[in-house]
Amino acid sequence: MTGDIVVISVASMGGIGAALSLFLAYADKKFKVEEDPRIEGVLQILPNSNCGGCGQAGCRMFAEAVLVGKVPITGCVAGGQAVVDGLAKLLGVEAQKANKIVAVVLCHGGEKEALKTGIYKGEKTCVAANFTSGEKACSYSCIGYGDCVEACKWDAMAMNDNGLPVVFHDACIGCGACARACPRFIIEMHPIEHKLFNYCRNKDKGAVARKVCKVSCVACTLCVKDCPQEGGIDMIENLAVLNYEKCLQDTDAPIKRCPTKCLLYGEEEKMTKAFYYASLKKPAA
């Protein structure tokens, strides 16, 4: 009788299997989701890091958007030139230059420069500390607990010994996670061509700003006068604001007479990852 059991079980299980597979084959045809076959191709070119720097929810969303032309092929900030070239080839459009953008921390008021008026004893994260006035007297400054470094998934930031975050110019892919993490909006995303920055966000009057930090913008307007292009730098709310469309970034003339050295030229590109870690090993001068 053992033979019968084998036959019955093989036949019944096999029959069920065959019936279900037929149903699945039918369902696959009937309920097929039509998808652009090129999405897979685009995804192979993209970094697939889902960093969100393009403004989409992830790489797949970007792939769908780029195929219907909602976003330009230069939209992927993480990929760089290789992705732009790849996408241009795949989609048969003209190759373009990639927009490389990097994060810039616009506050240089660290432990050494900023005046401290309090002792903060709460949770050591910026978002929590921002409910209080924080330790520094300047209410626009970097709080210094490194929420941005925490947010950076690319190992492109670190807190230096002065209590300020630094961005590694070569490692930053421009996803903007750090800028979103900063509760005081000190970090801005800039195209790599920008070299001139005002590293201060203090909107108080010069005398007040000067008291709380050695490297604050005191609204002296010398840079406004020294900028070779008319309207390249404006003084808005006691702060020198660069107008990047007009200010051509070709000279460091505006920074020459800056009394507090809050306006600097070409600082960002010096800070590469190798440079930073090499500087750590050197004893302080």
If the CB atoms of residues 140 and 199 are measured against another protein, the closer one turns out to be: 140
CA 23 to chain centroid: 48
CB 168 within 8 A of CB 157: yes
Asked if 204 is part of the footprint of another protein (rule: CB under 8 A), the reply reads yes
Bridge partners of residue 166, in order along the sequence: 158
- Four-residue CA torsion sign, 104, 108, 111, 116: negative
- Which residues are CB-contacts of 81 (< 8 A; sequence separation ≥ 6)? 97, 98
Residue 132 contacts another protein per CB under 8 A: yes
Distance in Å, CB of 108 to another protein, minimum: 21
Q: Does 119 bind another protein (CB under 8 A)?
A: yes
**Structure token pair of residue 162:** 């002065």
278, burial (CB in 10 Å: exposed 0-12, middle 13-18, buried 19+)? exposed
Window contacting another protein (CB under 8 A); options: 127-135, 160-168, 191-199, 242-250:
127-135
The region of 44-52, 64-72, 134-142, 169-177 touching another protein under the rule CB under 8 A is 134-142
**Residue 185 within binding range of another protein, rule CB under 8 A:** no
Residue from 7, 17, 22, 131 in contact with another protein (CB under 8 A): 131
Strand partners, 241: 234
The residue from 9, 117, 243, 279 that contacts another protein (CB under 8 A) is 117
Which part of the chain contacts another protein (CB under 8 A), choosing from 9-17, 19-27, 73-81, 121-129?
121-129
- For position 127 contacting another protein by CB under 8 A, the verdict is yes
Stretch of residues binding another protein (CB under 8 A), selected from 64-72, 94-102, 111-119, 257-265: 111-119
Between helix 81-91 and helix 38-45 the angle, nearest 10°, is 160
Tell me, what DSSP letter sits at residue 107? -
Q: Can you give the binding site for another protein, defined by CB under 8 A?
A: 117-119, 121-123, 125, 127-128, 131-135, 137, 139, 203-205
